[in-house]
A and B are shown apart, each in its own frame.
Chain A
């Protein structure tokens, strides 16, 4: 698999100046968990799913196998 190149813009230090608001992260996490519980009954049946494999299948579904 071709590796992702993450060197771009690493040297400018810009990423260190970008702060993430921890309180907003907490709110976001709670909201996502609430949606998960309400719509999908989180915890039921998730063990059977390989998430990376599902992502690859979705990519194939969109773009074909080639």
Chain B
């Protein structure tokens, strides 16, 4: 068996064990449960962003837009009586339906232009959501039924499902990276002109990557809505939902399979440490720490460790 299959199996097995065991181990520890759930959701977004920003080399700021879209799609459908499972699936479909045409259009832009255009998507959706108050509740927000039940059960359930989604997203990333699609994305990232010259349909492959990453981001939004129980536009369309995953991937290792896992864990840990110690300057402190880390380990923790080991 080759090392890739082993890695995929290891991720799946450890992930499944964590999904089954963690809610039991952490029962009665709501703070830790919340932390692991936050980590899992960040990991979904980080691994999703990695498909577009890491594998393809297109620095997307649209992750938050699809997160918010998924949150609202799931919330609205549940408010109309749809089962939460179906609501999550439809949230994913909504992500794809928006991402495919938007990606096809916006992925013609490169570098900074693409980044700015992708950033706009979240702002547009936020305005639409706020304005369309008949459907979305506008600025008042929406209460979400989620999986229901008492808070403890809901916490355990949310932990389980967000962790499962995180494992699936990491595996999706691995499947893409090791496939023909991933090989094409590699070529596009390194040299798009040369890629076209050897027959790579860059527009199509980029749109696939963008769409797949948006599906998982949107489902993450749906899970978040069910977990928190109440959403409003300023929360789920917050630009931090786009920025945090990028920082996590940069910390862990861009374009790698395990980078998002390490990065998301590191990010959540740093956030908690700073939050506890310098409450009054928490986001500033976090920012300084992240900048320092990126200066010391510019390629991210994982590649820096690997290349240091390889060097004689």
Q: Do A and B bind each other?
A: no
